[in-house]
Every structure is written in C-alpha cells, then in structure tokens.
C-alpha cells in the first residue's frame, strides 16, 4: 500500500528533511538541557468544568491580557499555537508558492526555512557574520528580489546573540514597502531591553513573534502571539484555523499573564540568568572548553575540544545537550539550555571528569 501511494506525495515534501525537535531526537535523559525549556515549573488550577462547546477563535480575555503586557492595543495581537504557527501563517498569507521567497539568517531557528519549504516557497539564506553574529545588511539588500518576508531571531537561537537595534532599524528602512520584517522574540524576556515592540508604531511592516514557552515556563500548552499592525492581524485572522486555542490553554495563559504571574516570570528569569552566569564562569575554567559565546537567552553556545565525545558521554549519563556542529559557523559547538542550579552543577561535574580522562 505504501508503495502504491507514495507517488502522490508532493515532490518538495518527499524530499523534505523534517525539523529535528528535541523530543524527536530522543534520548534517555534525567537532565534535559537541549530544548531551551524552563527548569522551573508553575502550578495552575482551573474551574472549567465543561468542554462540549468550541472555544473562541481568538479569546478576548487572553488577547486583552497579552496586549496589556506588551503595551499594545487588542487589534495588534493574534494568539497562536506557539510562535511556530505565526511563522507558518505569515508564509501562507504573503508568499505565492513557486514564485516568492523568504530570507533567513543562519545559524538560526530552522523552522523559518522548513515552513517555507513545506509551502514551496524559496528560501534565501544570508548567513550572519561569524563570531560577531551581526546580520549582513548589504547582502540582504542585494537579495531582496521576490522576497516577501525576512525572519530575524532576536535573541538568536542557537547563538544567544542580540542584533543591535540600529541594524534592525536599517533593515526596516531598506525593506519599507518591499518586504515584511519578522522579529522572533521567543527569548526576549531574558533581555527585555532589546525588544522591538515599541517600534511597531513606527514601521507598519514590522511583525513580532512571542511565546509563553520560555520565560513563562509554559512550553507544554503551546501558546504564542503575533504582534503587528491591525491590517496584518486582519489578514492572518482570515487564514488561521477556526479554533486554534483550547479552553484550557486560554485559561492557563490568562493566569500566567496576571500581575502575579508576570512577577513570577520575572523572578524566574532572574534565577535562570544567574544560573547562566554561574555556568559560564565554571565552564571558563575547564580545559575542554575552547570558546563560550556571550548569551542573552536561557541557553549558552559553547565550542568544545572533543565535542563529539563530550556530547555522547553526557548523553549516556542522561544529560542531553543539543549538538550544533552541523550548522554554518558552529563547528564543534554544543548548545546548553540553562537548567536548575543542581542540573548545572551536575553538568559541570561530569564535564570536569571528562577533562581528566
């Protein structure tokens, strides 16, 4: 049966390499440091008793809660299944398959390119500069032909770096009336001063993606937001699925966005940033470490001597990291999500043991 049906698959899907999510890669872990999840969980309760009715397509209370948090009006916010759905919706809405293109700047989050490939939209990759991690504005400008969307992850995953605001503003100026600029701020709470949200009023082609998966410690509920001008939100509302946000997800997300929930998030961010600084300090003293890249997020990118051995030995001990060696500019690099203090301590102890073998 499989052989009789496989020829029906679209050619670009048959040849597609799927996104290698942390769970898809697997591992028998006791310490998970490969998905940039928050190690500090929060507890929620719900008074919802019945589930026989469909939820609101765009829950008004949730949108109001997030617009208050982001200091925007309600008509500038779209709630989605994680920021990932926002990435996909934008390509669906603005890119003609087989005709238009997007730009992304590797090494970066793979789902920009994968979503475009799924939808048969060309991907123009303009790598960021090695080590400085700045975007290549001149090369982007030279490649704007047929480009509708430009995806910039800031802080960038997996480098942890920040794109200077002046560079993003220059990018916005050169793309005015030509392309939309999407800033993925999934990790922005770890470096809140670098958000571009205040520039939405100045640049109608600026779009910002957000999520509750990272700093809000809610990766399990899959809730994200697209922030843009009213016209763009109206377009995306045309194509989003009828009921993307379940009643339970909406209820938990609203609780997370209360004054109490936001305060807890900020305390959580403070703890993780302190753990990150402690981890970096300890890694700097280990001989197997070749270079540690400055991070503004809840992970750190490290170039190791014998990175394969370190990755495998830690894997065997249940400490699961993310191997980035296959990506441009990231030879011998491992990305380490910031865990709890005890998890970071265990990681350091195990790497120290390997350094003496």
pLDDT digits (tens, 9 = 90+) for 237-266: 999 999 999 999 999 999 999 999 999 999
Secondary element (H or E) of residue 102: strand 101-104
CA neighbor of 227 nearest in space, from 94, 112, 70: 70
Cβ proximity of 75 and 230 under 8 Å: yes
Buried b vs exposed e over 271-289: b needs ≥16 C-beta within 10 Å? bbbebbeebbebbeebebb
DSSP 135-180: --HHHHHHT-TTEEEEEEESS-TTT-----HHHHHHHHHHHTTT-E
pLDDT at 119 exceeding the cut of 50: yes
CA neighbor of 112 nearest in space, from 143, 157, 76: 157
Report the pLDDT value the prediction gives residue 3, as an integer from 0 to 100: 63
Confidence of residue 2 (pLDDT cuts 50, 70, 90): low
pLDDT at 7 exceeding the cut of 90: no
Mean pLDDT of 32-49: 91
pLDDT at 135 exceeding the cut of 80: yes
pLDDT digits (tens, 9 = 90+) for 72-103: 999 999 999 999 999 999 999 999 999 999 99
Confidence of residue 30 (pLDDT cuts 50, 70, 90): confident
Pairwise CA distance, residues 336 & 26, whole Å = 16
Report the pLDDT value the prediction gives residue 23, as an integer from 0 to 100: 65
Secondary element (H or E) of residue 344: helix 341-355
pTM of the model: 0.95
Sign of CA dihedral 192, 196, 197, 201: positive
8-39+261-355 maps to CATH 3.40.50.300: no
pLDDT at 1 exceeding the cut of 60: no
Q: Where in the chain is the domain with CATH 3.40.640.10?
A: 60-258
pLDDT digits (tens, 9 = 90+) for 44-59: 999 899 999 999 999 9
Pairwise CA distance, residues 245 & 57, whole Å = 7
Write down the architecture of domain 60-258 according to CATH.
3-Layer(aba) Sandwich (3.40)
Buried b vs exposed e over 171-199: b needs ≥16 C-beta within 10 Å? bbebbeeebbbbbbbbbbbbbeebbbbeb
pLDDT digits (tens, 9 = 90+) for 191-226: 999 999 999 999 999 999 999 999 999 999 999 999
If you search the block for the tokens 């490290």, which residue do you land on?
302
Mean pLDDT of 265-288: 97
Q: Where in the chain is the domain with CATH 3.90.1150.10?
A: 8-39+261-355
Mean pLDDT of 285-311: 97
């Amino acid at each position: 049966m499989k052989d009789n049906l496989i020829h029906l698959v679209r050619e670009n899907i048959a040849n597609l390499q799927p996104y290698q999510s942390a769970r898809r890669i697997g591992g028998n872990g006791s310490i998970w440091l490969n998905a940039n999840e928050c190690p500090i969980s929060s507890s929620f309760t719900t008074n919802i008793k019945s589930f026989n009715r469909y939820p609101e397509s765009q829950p008004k209370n949730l949108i109001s809660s997030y617009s208050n948090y982001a200091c925007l009006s309600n008509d500038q916010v779209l709630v989605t299944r994680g920021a990932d759905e926002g990435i996909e919706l934008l390509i669906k809405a603005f890119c003609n398959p087989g005709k238009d293109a997007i730009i992304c700047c590797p090494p970066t989050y793979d789902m920009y390119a994968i979503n475009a490939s799924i939808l048969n939209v060309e991907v123009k990759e303009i790598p960021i500069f090695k080590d400085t991690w700045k975007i290549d504005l001149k090369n982007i400008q030279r490649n704007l032909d047929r480009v509708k969307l430009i995806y910039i992850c800031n802080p960038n995953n997996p480098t942890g770096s920040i794109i200077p605001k002046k560079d993003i503003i220059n990018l916005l100026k050169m793309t005015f009336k030509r392309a939309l600029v999407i800033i993925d701020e999934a990790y922005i709470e770890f470096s809140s001063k670098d958000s571009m949200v205040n520039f939405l009023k100045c640049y109608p082609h600026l779009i910002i993606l957000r999520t509750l998966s990272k700093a809000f410690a809610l990766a399990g509920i899959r809730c994200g937001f697209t922030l843009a001008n009213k016209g763009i939100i109206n377009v995306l509302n045309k194509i989003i699925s009828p009921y993307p946000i379940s009643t339970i997800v909406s209820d938990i997300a609203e609780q997370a966005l209360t004054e109490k929930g936001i305060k807890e998030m900020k305390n959580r961010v403070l703890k993780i940033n302190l753990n990150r600084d402690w981890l970096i300090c300890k890694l700097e003293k280990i001989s197997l470490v070749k270079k540690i890249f400055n991070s503004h997020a809840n992970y750190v990118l490290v170039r190791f001597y014998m990175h394969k051995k370190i990755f495998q030995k830690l894997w065997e001990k249940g400490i699961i990291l993310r191997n980035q060696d296959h990506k441009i500019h990231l030879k011998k690099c491992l990305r380490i999500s910031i865990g709890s203090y005890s998890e970071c301590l265990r990681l350091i102890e195990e790497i120290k043991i390997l350094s003496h073998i």
